[in-house]
Amino acid sequence: MADILVQGLTQNNLKHVSFRIPKEKITVFTGVSGSGKSSIVFDTIAAESQRQMNATYPAYVRSRLPKRPKPAVERIDNLTPSVVVDQSPLGGNARSTVGTISGLYSSLRLLFSRIGRPYAGTASCFSFNDPNGMCRTCSGLGKITRVDVEAMIDPEKSWNEGCVRDSLYSPGSWYWKQYARSGLFDLDKPVKEYSREEYNLLLYGSRGDAGAPENPKVTGLYHKYTKTLLNRDISGKSRHTQEKSQSLVAELECTDCHGQRLNEAALSCKISGFSIADMCGMELTQLREVLSRITDRTVGVLVQTLIEGLDRMIEIGLPYLHLNRETPSLSGGEAQRLKLVRYMGSSLTGMTYIFDEPSAGMHPRDVHRMNRLLRKLRDKGNTVLVVEHDRDVISIADHIIDVGPLAGQHGGEIVFEGSFQALLHADTLTGRAMLQSLPVKETPRKPTGSLPVRDACLHNLKHVDVDIPLGIMTVVTGVAGSGKSTLISQVFAKQYESSVVMIDQGPITATNRSTPASYLGFFDEIRKLLARESGKPDSLFSFNSAGACPACGGKGVIVTELAFMDPVVTACEACGGVRYNEEALACTCKGKNIVELLGLTASQALEVFEDAKIRKRLKVMEQVGLSYLTLGQPLSTLSGGERQRIKLAKHLGKKGGVIVMDEPTTGLHPSDIQNLLKLFDMIVSRGNTLVVIEHNLDVMKQADWIIDIGPDGGKNGGEVVFAGTPMEMVRGARTLTADSLRSSCR
Ligand code: ADP
Ligand code: ADP
Ligand code: ZN
Ligand code: ZN
């Protein structure tokens, strides 16, 4: 089996590296974040494999596939087709559930059509995505959405004062005129003084209630918003419309099927006393038990298939899920594990499977289960590539490629290749980190107060009472599915909404032109410096304004619309894609023009700028471990972990707040974690409160306080099983987390 050969790789920060990857083995890529692991694995190997696959298709298929640029590499040989199993959301909508995406729901439908009683029909009668099976009231969604239009009306105001809180309806606007000119309203009367009849007219366009015929002269606001927000797909609309929709649309459980999505006929058909909806509402372990008691020989094979599928999900640490859980509500780690399960069921061999930190979201107890699946995937004749920081995962590698020595331009080299045993003796950051572990904190801080949560019952929480300490760092632990996010990110964060800042790994809601410089607010300072030095106005250094390249209007690309075809996008020739015009590019500060300045990494920029405001923000980038980013790198290219840290950077200056973070060590090398802990110390010493959901044992050991949720996941979780200092946990607690913590102290 010939190795995969990569020669002369210079993609992103890689420094002309060459290496081999053995086939049908597990190869783990390690190294600090920003060292170049993703540039190798995703931007090069996965990208090139897909590109070569695409090239084998006929031209008419090829024209429909996304175009991939060739990675910057001299030569790659012996690639096999690749599949990327990452943490990106599973996508889908309310119709996509754990059951539909895993294929188990269709097997279950088949089972009901065969042995369910009374007989309801063939398998489509059990599909909530099929008119034969769906509840008609909610069209199979299990819930109905309603527009809360009253929230849009300011009762203190009249039409002339703008009683509808929406700029589309401001006095004088086109929409406003439709109502004002109808002659049905007194334009100076505040809404609160309307009679019942007038109010109904405003909302429903009729003198009666919601159901009564509409007044032909005006459409009620309720109908108007229902039409614009509910009865069409708004995902392509402006952010304004989407935000408006979010604040106005309320979801309620369907009153007919009570969230079960199916019609009467489908729901009355049962096996062992359970309907298909009952089964989809069970935790996977319970469902497995119910299915294993079916003795009917005619469906033996089908039942066996279902049980095998369930076992795979249980084995990978998702026993607490149920089949009717909507996929958009799954965490990144859960989504990745579900994808893995899907591929485990496939009979393809000779593939390259690529994983991005599969241990994310996993309790130390569960990591070995996933390791078993990775080995199985290899033993079926596949090549498995894994980007990982977790020692337990790294230890199962057949081959390790360590990228470094540091991040960005200080990285991009291969600093070690070989076995795990050899890595333990390697003089690299990863090699050294494998042998180190932090001590348990001896003298934790004392809280300055606490925020109580009482009788929390959301999802699996069992009437939880807990006090979240103030002024210290609390780590919330527990196996996946135990209820950590439900308790902290949902119940606690919502209850104390006004003082809690959530810093997650989700996309940054800013324009797609945002960069570290603009997001952290020092782009303006850089423009001022350039303006001062050149005697030109600030606006010249903005590509949204006077500085824009005249050919592309500051976009950097030229989009040519072609009839009947996708538009063609090419780099602007006038500015070479840098977006600025010549006048702007001619001005310099410290001998560098705007584009050159934005091309500096934060650490390089610290050697260039003297301005105190700019330096302060650059230092913050350094503190959150992002000094290797350039000032102009689009935020859309950052990884989840990098996004979380740049959000943290934005909040670093604040004092006295409560900061909640969900697994901030995702994507971080052990040596980065030590820096993150220093940063946490600094945040807390400035009078802030930190509440961190974590599986990383070093972070737990350095906490001031630990709140452990368990004892296990799903319905077997939802309780606080321990609250105390890390030392107390190590000495006396009898929980899964305490066991893991103790064994890491040896
Ligand atoms: P790792 O996976 O080890 O965290 P990456 O391969 O993502 O590191 O990044 C290596 C370097 O390349 C970093 O300095 C990163 O900022 C840079 N980089 C990654 N993607 C891009 C991109 N699309 N454009 C420019 N620079 C990038
Ligand atoms: P953790 O954060 O500890 O991994 P979660 O708080 O995400 O655990 O989940 C706790 C329980 O609540 C699990 O049984 C999970 O399936 C359930 N759960 C979480 N989110 C949802 C949701 N949006 N809808 C239904 N059940 C959910
Ligand atoms: Zn319904
Ligand atoms: Zn241009």
Under 8 Å CB-to-CB from 719, ≥6 apart: which residues?
A: 462, 464, 709, 710, 711
Q: 36 CB under 6 A from ligand 1?
A: yes
Least confident piece of the model among 72-76, 137-141, 289-293: 137-141
pLDDT reading at 548 higher than 70:
yes
Around ion ligand 4, which residues have CB less than 5 A away? 549, 551-552, 572, 574-575
Contact between 479 and 718 under an 8 Å Cβ cutoff? The reply is no
**CA 43–ligand 1 middle distance (angstroms):** 9
**CA 570–ligand 4 middle distance (angstroms):** 10
Query: What pLDDT was estimated at residue 165?
Result: 85
Cα–Cα dist 461/720, whole Å: 9
The average pLDDT across 247-260 equals 84
Query: What pLDDT was estimated at residue 231?
Result: 60
What mean pLDDT, rounded, does the chain reach? 89
pLDDT reading at 489 higher than 60:
yes
Taking the CA of residue 637 as reference, the ligand 1 atom at the shortest distance is 23
Q: 430 CB under 6 A from ligand 1?
A: no
Give the model's confidence band at 558: pLDDT under 50 very low, under 70 low, under 90 confident, else very high: confident
**CA 385–ligand 2 middle distance (angstroms):** 29
Question: ∠509-513-514 over CA atoms, to 5°?
Answer: 55
Give the model's confidence band at 570: pLDDT under 50 very low, under 70 low, under 90 confident, else very high: confident
Ligand 1: which residue has its CA nearest to atom 25? 12
Taking the CA of residue 321 as reference, the ligand 2 atom at the shortest distance is 16
Ligand 2: which residue has its CA nearest to atom 10? 483
Query: What pLDDT was estimated at residue 208?
Result: 42
What DSSP character marks residue 615? H
Tell me which of 11, 12, 354, 601 to substitute to probe ligand 1's pocket, judged by most ligand atoms within 8 Å of the beta carbon.
12
Least confident piece of the model among 168-182, 335-349, 550-564: 550-564
User: Residue 418: beta bridge partners?
Assistant: 400
| Ligand whose nearest atom lies closest to the CA of 324 | 2
Cα–Cα dist 594/676, whole Å: 31
What DSSP character marks residue 438? P
Taking the CA of residue 322 as reference, the ligand 2 atom at the shortest distance is 16
Least confident piece of the model among 34-38, 270-274, 650-654, 726-730: 650-654
Q: 329 CB under 6 A from ligand 2?
A: yes
Give the model's confidence band at 56: pLDDT under 50 very low, under 70 low, under 90 confident, else very high: confident
The average pLDDT across 388-405 equals 96
Nearest to 40 by CA among 67, 19, 69: 19
Least confident piece of the model among 8-22, 51-65, 119-133: 51-65
Under 8 Å CB-to-CB from 362, ≥6 apart: which residues?
A: 317, 333, 370, 480, 695
Query: What pLDDT was estimated at residue 637?
Result: 78
pLDDT reading at 538 higher than 50:
yes
Query: What pLDDT was estimated at residue 209?
Result: 45
Contact between 480 and 361 under an 8 Å Cβ cutoff? The reply is yes
- Three-state DSSP class for residue 632: coil
Ligand 2: which residue has its CA nearest to atom 18? 459
| Ligand whose nearest atom lies closest to the CA of 491 | 2
Least confident piece of the model among 15-29, 189-203, 476-490: 189-203
**CA 75–ligand 3 middle distance (angstroms):** 57
Taking the CA of residue 709 as reference, the ligand 2 atom at the shortest distance is 3
Query: What pLDDT was estimated at residue 276?
Result: 96
Q: 332 CB under 6 A from ligand 2?
A: no
Residues 212-248: tens digit of each pLDDT: 444 556 778 888 887 777 665 555 566 666 666 667 7
**CA 291–ligand 3 middle distance (angstroms):** 26
Least confident piece of the model among 189-203, 443-457, 499-513, 664-678: 499-513
Q: What percent of the chain has pLDDT over 90?
A: 58
Q: 29 CB under 6 A from ligand 1?
A: no
Tell me which of 460, 691, 735 to substitute to probe ligand 2's pocket, judged by most ligand atoms within 8 Å of the beta carbon.
460
Give the model's confidence band at 408: pLDDT under 50 very low, under 70 low, under 90 confident, else very high: confident
Give the model's confidence band at 370: pLDDT under 50 very low, under 70 low, under 90 confident, else very high: confident
Question: ∠415-418-423 over CA atoms, to 5°?
Answer: 70
**Ramachandran class of 85: left when φ > 0, alpha when ψ lies in -120 to 50, beta otherwise:** beta
Residues 616-668: tens digit of each pLDDT: 999 999 888 888 899 999 887 787 778 888 998 888 877 788 999 988 888 88
Q: 292 CB under 6 A from ligand 2?
A: no
Q: 486 CB under 6 A from ligand 2?
A: yes
Query: What pLDDT was estimated at residue 564?
Result: 58
**CA 733–ligand 4 middle distance (angstroms):** 63
- State which amino acid sits at residue 552: C
More confident residue, 88 or 736: 736
Give the model's confidence band at 64: pLDDT under 50 very low, under 70 low, under 90 confident, else very high: low
The average pLDDT across 108-125 equals 90
Tell me which of 15, 38, 406, 643 to substitute to probe ligand 1's pocket, judged by most ligand atoms within 8 Å of the beta carbon.
38
Give the model's confidence band at 577: pLDDT under 50 very low, under 70 low, under 90 confident, else very high: confident
Tell me which of 459, 492, 735 to substitute to probe ligand 2's pocket, judged by most ligand atoms within 8 Å of the beta carbon.
459
Least confident piece of the model among 188-192, 278-282, 293-297, 552-556: 552-556
Query: What pLDDT was estimated at residue 631?
Result: 95
Tell me which of 453, 486, 494 to substitute to probe ligand 2's pocket, judged by most ligand atoms within 8 Å of the beta carbon.
486
**CA 540–ligand 4 middle distance (angstroms):** 15
**CA 571–ligand 4 middle distance (angstroms):** 8
**CA 39–ligand 1 middle distance (angstroms):** 6
pLDDT reading at 346 higher than 90:
no
Per 3-state DSSP, the chain is made up of helix, strand and coil in percentages (nearest 5) of 40, 15, 45
Query: What pLDDT was estimated at residue 554?
Result: 87
Q: 13 CB under 6 A from ligand 1?
A: yes
The average pLDDT across 359-388 equals 91
More confident residue, 145 or 91: 145
Query: What pLDDT was estimated at residue 300?
Result: 95
The average pLDDT across 339-343 equals 84
pLDDT reading at 706 higher than 50:
yes
**pTM, entire model:** 0.81
Q: Which residues of 351-362 are buried (b: 16+ CB within 10 A; e: fewer)?
A: bbbbbbbbbbbb
pLDDT reading at 52 higher than 70:
yes
Give the model's confidence band at 210: pLDDT under 50 very low, under 70 low, under 90 confident, else very high: very low
Query: What pLDDT was estimated at residue 700?
Result: 97
| Ligand whose nearest atom lies closest to the CA of 12 | 1
> How would DSSP label each residue in 495-561?
HTTTTEEEE-SSPP-S-TT--HHHHTT-HHHHHHHHHHHHT--GGGG-TTTTTB-TTTTTSSEEEE-
Tell me which of 39, 41, 644, 666 to substitute to probe ligand 1's pocket, judged by most ligand atoms within 8 Å of the beta carbon.
39
Taking the CA of residue 32 as reference, the ligand 1 atom at the shortest distance is 3
Q: What percent of the chain has pLDDT over 70?
A: 93
Taking the CA of residue 478 as reference, the ligand 2 atom at the shortest distance is 3
Query: What pLDDT was estimated at residue 660?
Result: 95
Query: What pLDDT was estimated at residue 184?
Result: 85
Under 8 Å CB-to-CB from 460, ≥6 apart: which residues?
A: 320, 481, 482, 483, 486, 714, 715, 717, 718
> How would DSSP label each residue in 363-404?
-HHHHHHHHHHHHHHHHTT-EEEEE---HHHHTT-SEEEEEE
Taking the CA of residue 714 as reference, the ligand 2 atom at the shortest distance is 14
With tokens 């992103």, the residue in question is: 12
